[in-house]
Structure formats: C-alpha cells, structure tokens
C-alpha cells in the first residue's frame, strides 16, 4: 500500500497478514448533481420518502465503483486527468444527445459542457466507456437519436456500448416540463430504427453496439432479441437484456424443477405490469406442470408512482399489499429481488417482514427458479 501524508511524504507499506492494520479511512463524500434534467426521475418522487431517495449523485467514482451513470458536466480537466492516471475504467456516461443544443436543453444547462471533448480525452486515454440515452419522444428521437449514435460510435471500441432507455414519467410532475411517454407506436418506430443501425454495426464493427431497454420490446409486443444480440450484457442493470437473461436462465433452471411436490403448495409471484405477459406466457405454464403446485401471478398496479410506471423495480410494499389482499391464504409470496434495496427496504420503507405480517403469509425474495426454488417448494 502506498500512503501519502498531508505534508507530501510518501511511504510504501507492506502488510504481511490480513489482520486489521488499525487504519481508519475518511468517509467518502459524494459529488452532487447540479443539472436540471427535464426528465429527472428524482424530481418526480413524492414527498415523505427517506432522505437518500432525493440525493442526485454526480460522481465519476460511483460510476467506476458501482456503474452509476454520470453526465460529466462537473468533471473538469483535473478530474479527467485523475481518471486517466488511476485507470478508473469502465465509466458509464449519460449522454442523451450529442447535439450541444439538445443536450443543453435536456440537462437544463446554461451553456455547452463540451461532453464530446471529454469523451474523446477518455477514449484516447483508453478508458472503457458505456453510454446511455434517455429517450424523450419529440426531443431526442428520430434524427437526433441517429446522430447521437453516430457520434458515439466514432469512439468505438473504447465506447463499448450504447443503451437507449425510455423516459420514466410518474404522476408527481406538477411544475415540471411537459413530456410524452413512450407508447407502443413510438416503441415500434424506435425498434425499427435501431434495428437498422444494429445491422450496420454488426457488419462494420462485429457487434450491435447500440441496445434497447427491454421496455421497448415489451411495450411494442415485439419478440425479444436472442442473447447473442446483447454482447456481454454490459448494461443489464439498466434494463437492457434483463428479461432475455431471466428467460434463458429460467429455461436452464426448469430442468431442475421437480415433477411433483411431496406436499401441496401455493405460490403467488409478484411482478410489474410490464413483464406480466412474459411471465404469464413462459413461466407460469411451466410451473403449473409441477404436480401439487398451484402457481399464480400478481401483476401489481403502481399507484404510488402512477400507472405509467410498470417495472417491478419501482413497486412499493403498500401497492403489493393492496394487490394481494385476499389472494394469499395458505400461499407463499415470491418477490422480485429488484424491488428491494441492499437494506431490504421497498421505496416506501416497507420490509418483506411487514408485508408478510400484513398479508398473513410467508414472503420470500426470489433469486431464481432452479435448485434453490425446488428447495423452497419443499420447505414447510
């Protein structure tokens, strides 16, 4: 370990065992976002939530450590030099539009932040980059989307992937800019345009480069691309390829599911409205083939954020409790893991234990449907 004192003295220290060296590191203070994005989801949170849900981080260290997206608007020359010197790679960048005028409008900036120059520096420094575009119909779709794709593709292979995700709009938008949600028709148009770009990229780059969030395919009722079209699933945490990965994992794990249970069981699987047709068509029929198992699906309507928010990761404990009222007698409720944070809390601070007590049934966070799922079925 290399230690630098406040007076500039540098020491090389070698620890010969894993015992606590007695060093206390200063807590990390995160950089705060100074943008005023017209689509910011945090601005659409209702009042009364825990304090951390209102913090807007803008810190390239969090991008490196945890995959958080950073706009780089507050990343100056010294920061860029540090990123290059310390090899903080990969980084995840929110671009939204390469056109400075469109990006300035979308991020609420007073002037051009010269993002492309920063990306060029990072690419030249051999930092691996992944970018995202939050698609706002009528603002950065169509020609703007194609131009942004081409501008970022120019930095390939250091710019490894580009994700396009639909804008998320809640019912808590009083005083915020008017925006249109991505509907089925828009989703079909975007899929068609991106498919053309992907085919060109496959021929010229050897891979699609640009990827769509699952929501586009689910909204349009279009088939999901095969796993080979997602590369290494670089942006799965951004909802890109998550459904495909889940379905493929389920198909593999289904071979380990029992043919019959020793004791009759009833399960209720919780999901958001968007993924419900996928589970209803692919997962529930397979589970119902298990003798002695009664499998039901609960597509939960999001009243907390509004019915336009349909993903499972934004479900609250109170909405799940409302949707399951009267449906869980003798059942085990399976929750998707992404609706809880690392502390086991829903967005409204409910816990699975509170949900269990309110419903009067067992509640389990489901990580998969393979051998572990079989074990769950056999438990009392």
Q: Is residue 5 in some structural domain?
A: no
Residue 171 lies in a domain: yes
User: Does 4 map to a domain?
Assistant: no
Residue 216 clears pLDDT 60, i.e. is over it: yes
**Does a structural domain hold residue 356?**
yes
Output the DSSP codes for 105-166: HHHT-SS---HHHHHHHHHHTT--EEEEEEE-TTTSSHHHHHHHHHHHHTTTTTEEEEEEEE
pLDDT at 279 over 50: yes
Q: Residues 60, 199: one domain?
A: yes
- Does pLDDT of 380 surpass 80? no
Q: How far is Cα of residue 244 from the mean position of the Cα atoms in its chain?
A: 14
Q: What percent of the chain has pLDDT over 70?
A: 94
Residue 191 has pLDDT above 90, yes or no: yes
pLDDT at 372: 46
**Is residue 318 domain-shared with residue 201, that is, in the same domain?**
no
Is 20 a domain residue?
Answer: no
Same domain membership, residue 85 and residue 148: yes
* Structural domain of 36: 30-240
Indicate whether 203 and 101 sit together in one domain: yes
Does residue 332 fall inside a structural domain? yes
Strands (DSSP E) found in the chain: 2-4, 10-12, 69-70, 91-94, 129-135, 159-166, 210-212, 260-272, 291-300, 332-336, 362-366
Question: Quick check: 370 pLDDT over 60?
Answer: no
* 46 occurs within a structural domain: yes
> Which strands sit side by side in the sheet containing 210-212, from one edge to the other?
69-70, 91-94, 129-135, 159-166, 210-212
* Exposure class string for 13-42: b at 16+ Cβ within 10 A, else e: eeeeeeeeeeeeeeeeeebebebebbbbbe
Residue 223 and residue 258 in one domain: no
Residue 94 has pLDDT above 80, yes or no: yes
Are 58 and 85 contained in the same domain?
yes
Domain end (from 216, 240, 264): 240
pLDDT digits (tens, 9 = 90+) for 258-272: 899 999 999 999 999
User: Hey, how many other C-beta atoms are within 10 angstroms of the C-beta on 183?
Assistant: 13
- Asked if the peptide bond before residue 157 counts as cis, ω within 30 degrees of 0, the response is yes
Mark whether 152 and 290 lie in a shared domain. no
- Residue 298 CB-density burial (10 A; 0-12 exposed, 13-18 middle, 19+ buried): middle
Distance, CA of 293 to CA of 346 (rounded, Å): 28
| Model pLDDT for residues 335-357, shown as the tens digit of each residue | 999 999 999 999 999 999 999 99
| Tokens encoding 314 | 């934004």
Residues 194, 296 within the same domain: no
Tokens of 330: 């003798």
pLDDT of residue 19: 64
| Residue 180 maps to a domain | yes
116: domain CATH number is 3.20.20.70
Q: Clarify whether residues 126 and 259 are in a common domain.
A: no
Which of 217, 240, 263 terminates a domain? The answer is 240
Asked if 340 and 356 sit in the same domain, the reply is yes
**Into how many domains does the chain fold?**
2
Q: Which of 208, 240, 272 is the last residue of a domain?
A: 240
Angle at 246 between CA 242 and CA 249, to 5 degrees: 140
Largest CA distance in the chain: 72
Q: How confident is the model at residue 280 (pLDDT cuts 50, 70, 90)?
A: very high
The whole model's pTM is what? Answer: 0.89
Pair 230, 174 in one domain:
yes
Q: What is the pLDDT of residue 368?
A: 59
Over its C-alpha atoms, the chain yields an Rg (Å, rounded) of 23
pLDDT of the residue at 7: 77
- 275 shares a domain with 202: no
Query: For the chain, what is the total number of helices (H) and then of strands (E)?
Result: 13, 11
């Amino acid at each position: 370990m290399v230690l630098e004192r406040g007076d500039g003295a540098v020491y090389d220290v070698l620890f010969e065992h894993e015992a606590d060296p007695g060093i206390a590191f200063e807590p990390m203070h995160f950089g705060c976002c100074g943008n005023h994005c017209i689509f910011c989801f945090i601005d659409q949170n209702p009042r009364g939530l825990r304090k951390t849900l209102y913090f807007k981080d803008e810190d390239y260290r969090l991008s490196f450590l945890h995959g958080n997206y950073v706009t780089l608007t507050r990343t100056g020359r010294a920061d860029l030099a540090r990123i290059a010197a310390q090899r903080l790679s990969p980084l995840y960048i929110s671009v939204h539009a390469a056109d400075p005028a469109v990006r300035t409008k979308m991020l609420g900036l007073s002037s051009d932040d010269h993002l492309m120059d920063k990306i060029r520096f990072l690419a030249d420094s051999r930092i691996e980059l992944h970018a995202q575009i939050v698609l706002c119909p009528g603002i950065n779709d169509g020609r703007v989307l194609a131009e942004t794709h081409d501008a970022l593709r120019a930095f390939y292979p250091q710019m490894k992937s580009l994700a396009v995700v639909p804008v998320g709009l809640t019912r808590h938008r009083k005083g915020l800019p008017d925006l249109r949600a991505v509907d089925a028709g828009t989703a079909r148009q975007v899929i068609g345009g991106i498919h053309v770009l992907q085919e060109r990229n496959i021929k010229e780059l050897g891979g699609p480069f640009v990827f769509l969030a699952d929501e586009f395919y689910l909204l349009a009722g279009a088939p999901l691309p095969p796993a080979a079209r997602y590369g290494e699933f670089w942006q799965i945490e951004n909802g890109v390829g998550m459904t495909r990965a889940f379905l493929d994992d389920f198909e593999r794990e289904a071979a380990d599911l029992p043919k019959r249970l020793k004791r009759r069981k009833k399960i209720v699987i919780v999901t958001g409205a968007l993924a419900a047709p996928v589970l209803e068509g692919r997962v529930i029929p397979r589970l119902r083939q298990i003798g002695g198992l009664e499998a039901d699906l609960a597509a939960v309507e999001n009243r907390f954020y509004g019915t336009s928010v349909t993903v499972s990761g934004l479900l609250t404990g109170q909405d799940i409790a409302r949707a399951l009222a009267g449906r869980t007698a003798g059942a085990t409720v399976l929750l998707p893991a992404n609706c809880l944070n690392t502390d086991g809390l829903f967005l409204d601070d409910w816990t699975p234990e509170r949900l269990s007590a309110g419903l009067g049934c067992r509640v389990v966070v489901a990580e998969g449907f393979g051998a572990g799922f079989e074990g769950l079925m056999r438990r009392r």
